[in-house]
Amino acid sequence: MKTVLVDNQKAAVLKNNNGKVVFNSGFLLLADHYNFLPRACRPRRARTKGKVERMVKYLKENFFVRYRRFDSFTHVNQQLEQWIADVADKRELRQFKETPEQRFALEQEHLQPLPDTDFDTSYFDIRHVSWDSYIEVGGNRYSVPEALCGQPVSIRISLDDELRIYSNEKLVASHRLCSASSGWQTAHSDVIDHLFAWNIDQ
């Protein structure tokens, strides 16, 4: 198993007191998925951090100067992939007198293969389905199949605001997240028909 040196940002490290490290549980799940052992940098020891901060500066002063508007996280990733291929991977690194593209070709054989599935970065939570077969998420309400009224369901929200609703790990509904002003989001007409018929009968 490879060891990966990481900075002490909260996304990875919750505490680092004289080498006594408490890692973020979500980051440990990531490490387990990609089969690496994380090791935290020593606080206030810049030389142990590699050149992470320099890359962040390069990203801000190059990529974000060229591209300023994005429609979604998917769009950002598409622009980043294009920028990396056309710009970042083509520049010469003074330390090596080679481009990142050339360095990667040399180092690739030493890298571990990626797993078959990507790590799931979706936000996870639990909701209870109301009597009218809706759940509340972010101030708005989203429909769930009528058979699940009164039951708990799990939700996952992607970086692109796709809401997926699961019952016993089975996908039962999906929606796009909307603001509260957009009104309730319904994807099951049978629920509305049922409530409408019930109101008429009364």
For residue range 115-161, list pLDDT tens digits in order.
999 898 888 999 999 999 999 998 899 999 989 999 999 999 998 88
How do the domains of the chain map onto residue ranges?
2-49, 52-110, 123-201
How confident is the model over 161-170, as a mean pLDDT? 91
What are the helix (H) ranges across 59-180? 64-66, 73-86, 100-107
Amino acid at 77: N
pLDDT tens across 4-37, in order? Answer: 988 888 999 999 987 799 999 999 999 999 999 9
With tokens 């692109």, the residue in question is: 160
**Whether 146 contacts 133, CB under 8 Å:** yes
Q: Name the phi and psi angles at 93, rounded to 5.
A: -85, 120
CATH architecture classification, 123-201: Beta Barrel (2.40)
Q: Tell me whether strands 134-137 and 140-143 are parallel, antiparallel or unpaired.
A: antiparallel
pLDDT tens across 39-82, in order? Answer: 998 887 656 666 666 788 888 999 998 888 888 888 888 999 99
| pLDDT value, residue 165 | 93
The CA distances from residue 171 to 52, 118, 164, in Å, are 39, 18, 7
**Would residue 161 be called left, alpha or beta, if left means φ above 0 and alpha means ψ between -120 and 50 degrees?**
left
| pLDDT value, residue 201 | 45
pLDDT tens across 97-123, in order? Answer: 999 999 999 999 988 889 999 898 888
| pLDDT value, residue 135 | 94
What is the rounded CA–CA span in Å between residue 24 and residue 40?
11
| pLDDT value, residue 192 | 44
With tokens 């919750």, the residue in question is: 14
